[in-house]
Amino acid sequence: MGSMRPSIRSKSSGPVGQHLANGGNAREELSVFESESFDADSYVQGKCQSMSEKGIRKLCSELTELKRDSAEEMRKSVYANYSAFIQTSREISDLECELVSMRNLLTTQAALVHKLAEVQLPPMISENGGSLPHENGHVDDDSTSASETEARALLDVTDIYIAERKIEKAMDALQRCEALLRPLKSSTSLEQLFMEQRLRLTELLTQFAKQPSIRSAELRSVISALDRLGDGPHAHTLLLYSHHDRLQRAIANLRPSGTSYGGAYTAGLCQLVFSHIAQAARSSTAVFGEQPSYASELVLWARGETENFVALIKKHVLSASAASGGLRAAAECVQIALGHCTLLEGYGLALSPVLTMMVKPSVEQALDANLRRIEDSVSVLAAADDWTLVQPPPRTGLRAASSILFPPHLKLSTSAYRFISMVQDFVDDVTPLTSMHLTSTTLDGVARLFDSFVHLLMRAMPAAIDDEDVPEITDNLSIKVADTDAEKLSLLANAAAMADELLPRTIVKILPLKDREESRMRRSLDKPATGVRSEHREFRRRTQRAVDKLRDRFCQKYALELIYTDEGESLLSADLYLGLDNDGTLLTYSELSQTLFERIKTIAAAGGDVMSGRERFVTVLLIRLVETVVLYLSSDQDFWEDIEDGPRPLGPVGLQQMVLDMKFAVQMAGQVNHSSLRHLRQLVEDLIARAIDAYAATGMDPYSVLPEETWFMGMAQEAIDRLSGGWSKDSASPTASVSANSISSLKSHGSP
């Protein structure tokens, strides 16, 4: 198979791949299998005798993988070329019918020519009144006359049987008459009469087959009689036409329910359509066997009936469901139809691909409408949310048993609970339709819903100064702005809980069974799933990017509040370091560092209450906040212009103070092993290196005035211990009473 070559070449590292990659040598070795004396057991023993058990296992594994890849390629090829196969089958069936008609015509003409050639002329009269002797000699006229007489009598009886509608007796009489006429050589008139009687019987059988009241057993007998008369193609077409006509009359008596649900109508219509298809398949097999021409015609007819069925379902059920977002109704209707198609596979009719291809656009339309409805509902609920975290409400109704269990430590706001509940219902509706390959569409829809919900949360987050990342507002909803630290953290708690726990547990229902088991096992071991498909990994990355976007907005707001005043003036001035003289003053943290530390303590304390059980997320959040402040410092052009090119050079005390502040920032972030902390350390090292270069530009040796690394780290840790113990420049500071335990999570937690 040409389509298998890439997969074979990709496995050329194994013995099977190397053997198949040899080209001509492989073809020569394959000739061994064509020998009549080929012994499979001897061949396997000869090839595997020198191989170890490990090698044999590897060979079996490669053969199994090649078998699986071959089956997958075959399945894809069948689905990709199904329409072409059906079209080719239709053309072959039409061609076979034409060939049969031509054969019958040629047979009739040949028989006519043969009879004309064998006609005996009457004896010629001689001139003296005597008759000439016959050239063929004497013929037994008595025997011929007896056969002709009996044949005429049978034809007369057949005429009577046809008039009396006695089909079986007429068939028997015609068959006996045909046996008598076969040896006769001068029976042209009888042949003509025989053909007329057979034509009359064929027309009578056709009339019987087209009667609306004919029963299935009677129809099968009539079709069998037509086939015995030598008109098989017409009989098979008549069989399918009769079932189609009876089906149309039954459908005409079936009335739609008049509701948008349509489950009863779908079930009734499925029962009618697919039971008639099954009955036609049984009758076709019973009368005609499994002849390819008749089987192809049956497949084409069944496909046409399925297309008519889908047209009715779209008109009376799916169109209303797609417009209103009734995904559950559409899913149940399609599931009922697919179940009936599966039952027909026992008759050799694979109608599921046809049904799936035709109803998939309507199902996707219903899916999109359902997503829009959920998005609108969540927007309205978010407008009424006060961003207070509460315990999960109990789920009631038919879907309560299938809903996921919330962890005991998890708390969300009311709109978040409603959002995840609607997403669960949405996934439950799509789950029965996994055979329609809607996994990617479903994951993309859920990700879009989550992005929309995060945009609502960002609108509730107070805007930072000159914030260009504010989502575009296209509605008139008034979202309550989070004022307190607890309310702002609750916005992050909603997004983080969904992205990390709730949404992955929800979408696992639509994963393939293999990925589902691995995801469940990994989650029980608290490890990330590694074997899932690319679309599932992309879903997790997309939801995490949305959470990171909300978290960055949170950090930017707090960082700008620390750096800028309400009037927009920057507190991060180069004078903090340029105005310091070497007057023997003991180095300590700057006012900006103290303010940052106190802010972190406040957020950590609020996060311990709001995000109970999610301390890792709080740790990463605080690291990101410190990183944001350092990032603003490193990107402040005015600050660095004064440091590097200003009228006052950076002195040794200023350099020491800047290095101490940066080490203080790193020490505040703790010793966790996380990518954000590694990035923070790199930013700090780059900033210190830039300050050292600015000091060296004055002609001084920076390393002669900088103490050892351990000295800075010790000073930073000592400052943190003093601040954690309640020390503050202002004894009335509201942060003075905050316990050191409020920031313990920042220093003690490991990587999330």
Q: For 428-497, give the secondary structure using H, E and C.
A: HHHHHHHHHCCHHHHHHHHHHHHHHHHHHHHHHCCCCCCCCCCCCCCCCCCCCCCCCHHHHHHHHHHHHH
* φ, ψ (nearest 5 deg) of residue 17: -65, -40
**Do 327 and 430 meet the contact criterion of CB atoms below 8 Å apart?**
yes
Would you say 499 and 518 are in contact if contact means Cβ atoms under 8 Å apart? no
Q: At residue 495, what is the residue type?
A: A
Tell whether 736 and 663 lie within a shared domain.
yes
Do residue 248 and residue 354 come from a single domain? yes
Q: Is residue 55 part of a domain?
A: yes
98 within domain boundaries = no
- Based on the fold, state whether residues 675 and 616 are members of the same structural domain: yes
Q: Count other C-beta atoms under 10 Å from residue 589's C-beta.
A: 24
Q: CA dihedral in degrees (52, 57, 58, 64; nearest 10)? A: 150
Question: What does the radius of gyration of the chain's CA atoms come to, in whole angstroms?
Answer: 44
Identify whether residues 633 and 710 lie together within a single domain.
Answer: yes
Residue type, 198: R
Digit-coded pLDDT (tens) for 318-335: 877 766 667 887 888 888
Distance CA(134)–CA(143), nearest Å, equals: 18
Q: Do 226 and 326 lie in a common domain?
A: yes
Q: Which residues contact 5 (CB under 8 A, 6 or more apart)?
A: none
Is there a single domain that holds both residue 581 and residue 691?
yes
Question: What confidence score (pLDDT) does residue 730 get?
Answer: 37
SS3 assignment, position 36: coil
Q: Is residue 667 located within the same domain as residue 715? A: yes
CB 12 within 8 A of CB 81: no
Backbone angles phi and psi of 564, in degrees to 5: -115, 150
Q: Write the CA distances from 132 to 124, 125, 142, 244, 499, integer angstroms.
A: 6, 6, 21, 65, 112
**551 and 601: one domain?**
no
Q: What is the rounded CA–CA span in Å between residue 76 and residue 603?
A: 55
Q: Does any domain span residue 449?
A: yes
Residue 67 CA to its chain's centroid (Å)? 24
Tokens standing for residue 519? 């995801």
The pair of three-digit structure tokens given for residue 451, joined into one six-digit string:
């992005």
Residue 570 phi/psi, 5-degree rounding, is -85, 130
Domain boundary among 563, 597, 619: 563
Of 563, 598, 622, which residue constitutes the final position of a domain? Answer: 563
The answer to whether residue 299 sits within a structural domain is: yes
The domain total for the chain is: 4
| CA atoms in the 13 A half-sphere facing the CB of 152 | 9
Q: Which residues of the chain have pLDDT under 50?
A: 1-24, 26, 121-141, 258-260, 401, 523-532, 726-752
Residue 131 phi/psi, 5-degree rounding, is -95, 145
Q: In whole angstroms, what is the distance from residue 317 CA to residue 61 CA? A: 48
Which range marks the domain in which residue 657 is found?
A: 575-748
**Distance, CA of 304 to chain centre:** 27
Q: What is the pLDDT of residues 80-103, one digit of tens each?
A: 776 777 778 778 877 877 887 787
Q: Which residue has the tokens 């340029």?
A: 578
530 belongs to a structural domain: yes
Let me know: does 612 contact 664? Beta carbons within 8 Å: no
Residues 554 and 579 grouped into a single domain: no
Whether residues 623 and 733 fall in one domain: yes
E strand map for 540-674:
none
Best CA proximity match to 676, nearest among 582, 601, 749, 744: 749
Residue indicated by tokens 């530390």: 597
pLDDT digits (tens, 9 = 90+) for 659-705: 888 888 888 876 555 666 788 888 999 999 999 999 898 888 888 88
SS (H, E, C) 159-183: HHHHHCCCHHHHHHHHHHHHHHHCC
Cα–Cα dist 601/489, whole Å: 14
Which of 17, 50, 80 represents a domain boundary (last residue)? 80
Structure tokens at 708: 């050892």
Q: Where are the alpha helices (DSSP H) in 314-351?
A: 319-324, 327-344
User: What gap in Å lies between CA 387 and CA 336, rounded to an integer?
Assistant: 43
Structure confidence at residue 505 (pLDDT): 87
Determine the pLDDT at residue 668. 80
478 CB burial (10 A radius; 0-12, 13-18, 19+): exposed
Residue 173 lies in a domain: no
Q: List CB contacts of 469: < 8 A, sequence separation 6 or more.
A: 458, 549, 553
Contact predicate 273/213, CB 8 Å: no
Helix 263-288 with 232-252: angle, nearest 10 deg: 160
348 φ/ψ sector (left φ>0, alpha ψ -120 to 50, else beta): left
In sequence order, what are the residues at sequence separation of 6 or more whose Cβ sits closer than 8 angstroms to the Cβ of residue 665?
A: 593, 596, 626, 629, 630, 680, 684
Return the structure tokens found at 731: 């004894």
Residue 639, in any domain of the structure: yes
* Residue 62 within a domain: yes
**Alpha carbon distance 244, 302 (integer Å):** 10
Q: How many CB atoms lie within 10 A of CB 414?
A: 17
Mark whether 350 and 414 lie in a shared domain.
no
Claim to verify: residue 330 and residue 293 sit in the same structural domain: yes
> Which among 681, 657, 622, 458 is positioned nearest to 553, based on CA atoms?
458
